[in-house]
Amino acid sequence: MIEARPQPARKRRSISWRSREGRSVIYQVVAILSVIGAIALLVRNTLANMRERGIQSGYDFLNQPFGFDVSETLIPYEITSTYWTAFAIGMANTLKVAVVGIILATIVGTLVGVGRYSANWLVRKLCYAYVEFFRNVPIYLQLLIWYIVFTEVLPSYDELWQIGHFYLSKNGFSFPWPVWLLGQNLAMAGGLLGVVAAWLYARRSRRLFDQTGQQRPVALVGLALIVGMAIVGWLAGGAPNELSLPVRGTFQIENGASVTPEYLALLIGLVLYTAAFIAEIVRSGIASVSLGQHEAAASLGLTKRQSMRLVVLPQALRVIIPPLTSQYLNLTKNSSLAVAIGYPELVSIANTTLNQTGRAIEALSIVMLVYLTLSLITSALMNWFNARAAIQER
Amino acid sequence: MSAQEAPIIRFDKVNKWYASNGYHVLRDINLDFAKGEKVVICGPSGSGKSTLIRCVNALEEYQEGQLTVDGTVVGDDLKGIDRVRREVGMVFQQFNLFPHLTVLENLILSPTWVARTPRNEAIDKAMAQLERVRIAEHAHKYPLQLSGGQQQRVAIARALCLKPKIMLFDEPTSALDPEMIKEVLDVMIGLADQGMTMLCVTHEMGFAKAVADRVIFMDQGQVVEQNTPEEFFNHPQNERSQDFLSKILGH
Amino acid sequence: MSSTNSSQFQPITARPMPGRRTGIVAWLRANLFSGPINSLMTLATVALLAWSISHAFDWAVARAVFGAHLEACNNARGLGACWGVIAEKGRLIVMGRYPDTEHWRPVIATTLMLLVVGASCMPRFWNRWLPLAWLVMLAVYFTLMKGGMLGLTEVPTDQWGGLPLTVMLTVISMTLAFPLSIFVALGRRSTMPAIRTICTLYVELIRGVPLITVLFMASFMLPLFMPHGVTIDVLIRVIVGITLFSAAYMAEVVRGGLQALPKGQTEAAATLGLTYWQTQRKIVLPQALAMVVPSLMNTFIGMFKDTSLVTIVSLYELTGALSLALNSDADWRPFKIEAYLFITLIYFVFCFAMSRYSLWVEARTAVSKVR
């Protein structure tokens, strides 16, 4: 019997066209040299052209005052704020529409996707029609239409629609917002503690289930814990309940919180468009679980709800989640179309910068860097999820 | 079969039609199965034999007649169906193991969630079943990491974890490569020797001869002939049975 | 009950299902009113549909103005649609700024292009004349559109617009992107680390950023990349941008097909003595590409919709031509919504037809695979 021994060290490489290794090396060297050569050529041309046209370069413009009014800001902004601040505002606005958009699109998309399996024929057909319509019209066109709806079809300020303290008009949507004091911050802290408590409770009841076979209602108790601890925090902060109520002023709504019609148009347009794609993803995820799985679960005596929770959903989610995150990224990238309807998110700000300072490369590079970072983080999370959740095969 | 004991399964003038096209798939089925009896059901494809055994654990509904399993009438009553499903185990042609759970997790799923057995107790019982089908060393593997024969044995163990009174087998070896058929049939023979009531839809005639108390031949939704294996295989009475046997015994 | 022998056996003929309810009442009961919740849903949906359809009908048909009568349209504002805007501005929207008298040229050119593309989708035309047909079609297309020879007046590229531009951008960039994407996909699966890295960087970079930034980059930076004195047409810049963008996405689709192909195929080809490129051309790519045709169709449909973005870089395809037509004309500007609905219909018809076709192709190939 021959015993196992370690692999011998590699022989000297041969750089010859005939050897497999040699050819691979030659190809790669050629490829790298061509790419470097092409980049060098482009850079040389660019510098020459920029010199000739008097275009300056450099990122120093970021410290100069922006000089333009920005219509919607989460960060305090004055006319003398720098380009840095303007870009930061752009990023915040992108996130503002992306986060809310992703949540709403997921809810709507899941409902429509599940609705395709409804027992009701009308609901099934309507969901199908929704998906086919919104997927086959360009998002840019949809945004333009929603923009017109929110800036021209809605009533003007003088004839605004009012339900209680909610106002909707061409000027935007205003709603009551609590005056943010210590109490609210403590409530949020309490809520976070509640999440931790709910997680601990879930772990404990799982252990109990393993030991004795008794089931406890985890979801309801967890929810109660989160809400309860949030209330405790709020009470600890003196139970502030002052709401800033929007009031009808002469020219515009005062107090309260509001969002512009541009934001509304962008949000509704993105949500309805992306939800159509999410509905398709959810539907194909549900369809991917074969009938045999349902039957096996039924023949083992599992109820419909148990079968859904333990057998169908885990498998369906594995199929759903990768393309779902891809759609989330698409929604974020599509928010860049706001440049056409005047919502000041990142690409809009960059566009203004570009037109003002002529620093196309710098402005665009900032934008691309931000989006690339978001994409790479999401890709990394997705790969981690896939590796962990992948169904193990031979 | 003793005449005093009530049959554990009784089909009484059962008729079934497919809802999609109205096809009359089960025609006037009158059959009794005794406790501990091992029955092989065979017939050409489309004869309704799979549909017949799938009625026993209510995977298929019937429109006429009455089917009684262990004293419970199988019908619209959901509680009744639940009760029946706890007494009847089923093994599918496509195994239908849950690919996202390990072998052990596949087995303890139903005992912990339906029978409310504590987890450790369920694990012990599951390991015992895995030993019974001689696959205990793969308990922590995932189904797709096993061969077809191994997966089917796991599927049998999973059904046995419910401690069923009746086991249904729907062409358990038809999806297997030839060299793996024997290992699954050996497990089924072992089960038979231990006194389980078994209804098997299968083409494996060797298994039928070794184990079956009765062979039922079905064609076009009807029971054409039923007899002991020796009688059926050697002296088929009906020309349809003769025709069928000549086709499958020929090769 | 032990044995049944042939003297007792009586074959039973099939009977119809008892109580089987066919016809519309049974269908309604099963699909719309099968339970209390279901019935409630049906009633709520019907009420909602009735309300919205009656309002939509009122606006779009009952009180609408159908001719190009500006005064009647202004009177009907807010109450009825003004479809006259389409009669008045329709040609401008669909054709862009192409000179009125020469409209026959884009019509013929685009029809020819669509014919050749349609023929390429049907397997019975896949022979060696097809590439030749493409070359001829492209030559004829650009000659017709640009003019400046054969007695045709010259029409500069920044005046091309409307639907012909949308079609042309989609077709040209997909045609150019397709071979590029194959090379990039093969490169990503290469065993040579340098090539693999370059291709991966390209794909991840492009897929991580919005199309609009790619278009901006192409629009603002390509002129800077050119050697001194060379100018580059805005159309070419846009085509380069869209091509690079779609090639990255198509490369991922092709890569999926390559991954799905069993390894045994390349191994068998190697034992037969085929080189790498022969293997790819004759064995791997035909199978891999056939597998991903539906996804490729989806990318095509996506590109068709994404051409609407080139408006932002001043090339006025269908969506842009509308803005151009209506923004400058204060009389008809209030009726933008009607015009938008018009081009929504155009886009929907094109895209829906393409997606139906892709489903048909998918079903056909699936049938051939069923044993």
Please say if the pLDDT value at position C4 is more than 70: no
How sure is the predictor about C184, in pLDDT bands with cuts at 50, 70 and 90?
very high
The pLDDT, as a whole number, for residue A231 is: 84
Please say if the pLDDT value at position C199 is more than 90: yes
Of B63, B224, B226, the CB nearest to C17: B63
The boundaries of the domain holding residue C43 are 38-82
Query: What average pLDDT score do residues C284-293 get?
Result: 83
Measured between CA atoms, the residue of chain B closest to residue A319 is B100
Measured between CA atoms, the residue of chain A closest to residue C319 is A141
Counted domains in chain C:
3
Query: What average pLDDT score do residues B97-114 get?
Result: 87
Q: Are residues C177 and C77 in the same domain?
A: no
- Asked if C6 reaches chain B (Cβ–Cβ under 8 Å), the answer is yes
Torsion of CA A210, A215, A221, A226, to 10 degrees: 30
What angle in degrees, to the nearest 10, is found between the helix axes of C318-327 and C84-95? 130
Dihedral sign for Cα atoms in the order A352, A355, A357, A361: positive
Is C23 inside a domain boundary? no
Q: Are residues C115 and C251 in the same domain?
A: no
Measured between CA atoms, the residue of chain B closest to residue C18 is B63
Calculate how close chain C gets to A24, using CA atoms only, in Å: 6
Q: Which residues pair with B15 in a beta bridge?
A: B64
Is C268 inside a domain boundary? yes
Tens-place pLDDT, residues B142-178: 998 999 999 999 999 999 998 899 999 999 999 999 8
How sure is the predictor about B251, in pLDDT bands with cuts at 50, 70 and 90?
low
Q: Are residues C241 and C187 in the same domain?
A: yes
The pLDDT, as a whole number, for residue A104 is: 95
- Asked if A354 reaches chain C (Cβ–Cβ under 8 Å), the answer is yes
- Give the integer Cα–Cα distance in Å for B241 and A88: 82
CB-based contact C210 A371, cutoff 8 Å? yes
Is C177 inside a domain boundary? yes
Q: Around C219, how many Cα atoms within 13 Å sit in the side-chain half-sphere?
A: 18
Q: Which residues of chain C neighbour A17 with C-beta distances below 8 Å?
A: none
Of A46, A121, A367, the CB nearest to C31: A121
Expressed in angstroms, the distance from the first to the final Cα of chain C is 41
CB-based contact A293 B96, cutoff 8 Å? yes
Q: Which residues of chain C neighbour A49 with C-beta distances below 8 Å?
A: 223-224, 226, 228
Q: Which of residues 16-45 of C touch B (CB under 8 A)?
A: 16-20
Tens-place pLDDT, residues C345-369: 999 999 999 888 888 877 776 665 5
The pLDDT, as a whole number, for residue A162 is: 80
Q: Which residues pair with A82 in a beta bridge?
A: A65
Please say if the pLDDT value at position C239 is more than 80: yes
Please say if the pLDDT value at position B3 is more than 70: no
Q: Are residues C198 and C230 in the same domain?
A: yes
Task: Enumerate residue ranges in chain A where pLDDT < 50.
Answer: none
Interfacial residues of B (vs C; Cβ cutoff 8 Å): 1, 15, 17, 22-24, 27-28, 30-32, 63-64, 214, 220-228, 231, 237-239
- Asked if A28 reaches chain C (Cβ–Cβ under 8 Å), the answer is yes
Summary mean pLDDT of chain C: 84
Q: Are residues C234 and C296 in the same domain?
A: yes
CB atoms within 10 A of CB A123: 22
Calculate how close chain A gets to B233, using CA atoms only, in Å: 32
**Helix residue spans in chain B (DSSP H):** 49-56, 78-87, 103-113, 119-132, 148-160, 178-193, 205-211, 229-234, 239-250
Is C29 inside a domain boundary? no
- One-letter amino acid at B177 equals D
Is C17 inside a domain boundary? no
- Give the integer Cα–Cα distance in Å for A390 and B10: 45
Q: Are residues C247 and C120 in the same domain?
A: no
Q: Which residues of chain C neighbour B23 with C-beta distances below 8 Å?
A: 14
Tens-place pLDDT, residues B174-186: 999 988 999 999 9
Measured between CA atoms, the residue of chain C closest to residue A126 is C45
* % of chain B beyond a pLDDT of 70: 98
CB-based contact C2 B220, cutoff 8 Å? no
Q: Which residues of chain A neighbour B96 with C-beta distances below 8 Å?
A: 290, 292-293, 295-296
Q: What is the pTM of this model?
A: 0.80
Distances (CA, A) of C116 to B163, C80, C134: 67, 42, 7
Please say if the pLDDT value at position C3 is more than 50: no
Q: Are residues C114 and C172 in the same domain?
A: no
Is C224 inside a domain boundary? yes
The pLDDT, as a whole number, for residue B123 is: 93
Asked if C343 contacts C318 with a C-beta cutoff of 8 angstroms, the reply is yes
Subunits close to A (at least 3 CB pairs below 8 A): B, C
Of C1, C9, C14, the CB nearest to B32: C1
The pLDDT, as a whole number, for residue C7 is: 56
Q: Which of C224, C313, C316, C341 should one mutate to test binding to chain A, selecting the residue with the greatest count of A CBs within 10 A?
A: C224
The pLDDT, as a whole number, for residue C370 is: 45
CB-based contact A138 C45, cutoff 8 Å? no
End position of a domain, from candidates C154, C183, C198: C154
Q: Are residues C122 and C183 in the same domain?
A: no
Query: What average pLDDT score do residues C35-47 get?
Result: 86
Q: Are residues C147 and C287 in the same domain?
A: no
The pLDDT, as a whole number, for residue C2 is: 45
Q: Which residues of chain A neighbour B92 with C-beta distances below 8 Å?
A: 292, 295-296
End position of a domain, from candidates C24, C47, C82: C82
Q: Are residues C282 and C176 in the same domain?
A: yes
- Give the integer Cα–Cα distance in Å for A250 and A388: 58
Calculate how close chain A gets to B199, using CA atoms only, in Å: 15
- Give the integer Cα–Cα distance in Å for B116 and A211: 10
Q: Which residues pair with A257 in a beta bridge?
A: A175
Is C13 inside a domain boundary? no
- Asked if A368 reaches chain C (Cβ–Cβ under 8 Å), the answer is yes
End position of a domain, from candidates C82, C109, C138: C82
Q: Are residues C56 and C150 in the same domain?
A: no
Q: Are residues C340 and C315 in the same domain?
A: yes
Q: What is the CATH number of the domain that holds C222?
A: 1.10.3720.10
